[in-house]
A = this chain, B = another copy of it.
Amino acid sequence: MRKLRRNHRIGALMNILTERPNHIFTYNYFTERFNAAKSTISEDIVIAKELVEELDLGCIETISGAAGGVKFVPKMSKERTKEFLVELSDKFKEKDRLLTGGFIYMTDILYSPNIANCIGKVFASKFLTEEIDYVVTVETKGIPISMMTAQALDVPLVIIRRNARVTEGPTVSINYVTGSTKKIQTMSLSRRAIKEGSKVLVVDDFMKAGGTAKGIQDMMKEFKADVAGIGVLIATEEPKKKLVDNYISLLTLKGIDEEKQEIYIEPNLDILEG
C-alpha cells in the first residue's frame, strides 16, 4: 500500500477505533495497517485525542507496557444523554403503544439498532470503571440492548435461558420467584459460560419488583461471580422497594391510565450525576 496522508490516517484511525470501542489496539497494528512509522502514528493519536475531546465523544487512552496500545473509550456526553433519554421517554409515551391489560408495546424500540446502541452506550458509560468481564441478561427482549452494552464495553455477552438446552452442555439451573406475580420460574445457564471470580454487569429491559434480577444475582453466586451493577431500561415506580438495590434505570414508569390512554414515563436524569 502507498503511504497515506495524515488526514487519511486520522479518518481511518477513527474508523477502526470506533468500530471496536474499549479494545486495545497495538501501535504495531497501525504501523502495519497504515505503512507508517511509530512516531507518525503517535502524532496521529495526539490529533485523534484532541478531536475526541473537542467534540465530547469520550476519550482516547494510551496504555504503555508490553500489552500496551491505544483504545477509544466512547462516552455519551451529559447533554447528549439527557437529550436521548427525553426523546426515548417521549417515544414510550406514544398512545398507540398501550395494549389490552395495561401492557406497553416496546419491541420496536428495543430492537432498533440505533436506539439499542445508544442505550448500550449509556449503560457502558456508567460502568466503565468497574472492569466488567461479562454482560449478563436473560432471554429474550433484553438481548439487543445487552448485546450493545457488551459491545460498548468490549466484553462477551452471556444469555441465561428459561430452559436448559442440550446445545449448552452441563448447565446450572435455579428456581426463582417472580416479584410481582409470585410465580416460580426457572433459569438455566451453561456451566462454562462464566469463569469463576468474574465481575458482571446485569442488563435487562424491564423491572417491576426485581424478581428476575434477584434470580440472576442468585445464579451469579453459583458461578462465584460478582454483580458489579444492574442496568435496566425501564423500572416501574411501584413497588418502590425492589428485591435488588444495586440497580440503575434509565426510565421510570409511573403508571398507565387506560381510560385516558396515557402512559406516564419519565427519564431518570439523576443518573447523569456522578
From B33, B48, B139, B151, A117 is in contact (CB under 8 Å) with B151
Q: Does A57 contact B15, Cβ atoms closer than 8 Å?
A: yes
Q: Given A105-B192, A169-B99, answer yes or no on A11-B8 (Cβ-Cβ < 8 Å).
A: no
Contact assessment for B144 and A161 in the assembled complex, using a CB-CB cutoff below 8 Å: no
Instruction: Check if A113 is an interface residue, CB within 8 A of chain B.
Output: yes
A51 within 8 A of B: yes
Spot the interface stretch: A18-26, A241-249, A257-265, A266-274: A18-26
In angstroms, Cα B141 to Cα A143, docked, is 10
How large, as a class, is the contact surface on chain A? 35 or more
User: Which residue from chain B places its CB closest to the CB of A105 in the assembled complex?
Assistant: B169
Residues of B within 8 A of A113 (CB): 147, 150-151, 154-157
User: Restricting to A116-134, which residues have a CB under 8 Å from any CB of B?
Assistant: 116-117
A10 near B: Cβ within 8 Å? yes
Least Cβ distance of A42 to chain B in Å? 15
In the assembly, what is the distance between CA of A158 and CA of B144, in Å? 11
Within 8 Å CB of A12, what residues of B? 14, 51, 55, 57
Question: Contact at B8–A193, with CB atoms within 8 Å?
Answer: no
Query: B107, A168: Cβ atoms under 8 Å?
Result: yes
Within 8 A of B (CB), among A194-251: none
